[in-house]
Amino acid sequence: MRSGSTAIPAQSPLLVFDGDCAFCSTWVRRLEHSLPNFPTATPWQWLDLDSLGLTPDDVTKYAWFVTSGHQYAGHLALSALLRMQPSFGLRFAGTLVATPPVSWLAAVGYLFVAKNRHRLPGGTPACAMPVSTP
């Protein structure tokens, strides 16, 4: 995974997720209805990844939050999403998710969920991450 964030051209906030994954789609819809400030959420399959500075490998491994010159992957995408909320509590939670040692646990938790999303409630075989070959 790329470190923290990477500079990209300025644009409106965008949440990039796997549209083929029922688990991912369900959680995007839940967050969209739960959070007062929610960016445009678009499946990566519908996007020009090059224009976002992302690769197919990037988007099959992580959800991405792309905003005003930066891109955040995995748990840092959740952190960025929470930090844009009007509630102090949600902004504080977003800051914690990006601050060690909580960020270390959040990164491990995100990877566990991502690798097992096809086994979780709402998941389907289409949610399975591609198998890496050496």
Q: Where are the domains of the chain?
A: 14-127
What pLDDT score was predicted for residue 3? 43
pLDDT in tens, 41-56: 999 999 999 999 999 9
Amino acid type, 55:
T
pLDDT in tens, 6-26: 444 447 899 999 998 888 999
What pLDDT score was predicted for residue 126? 63
What pLDDT score was predicted for residue 10? 45
What pLDDT score was predicted for residue 131? 52
Decide the pairing of beta strands 14-17 and 64-67.
antiparallel
What pLDDT score was predicted for residue 120? 76
What pLDDT score was predicted for residue 21? 87
Q: Which residues of the chain have pLDDT under 50?
A: 1-10, 133-134
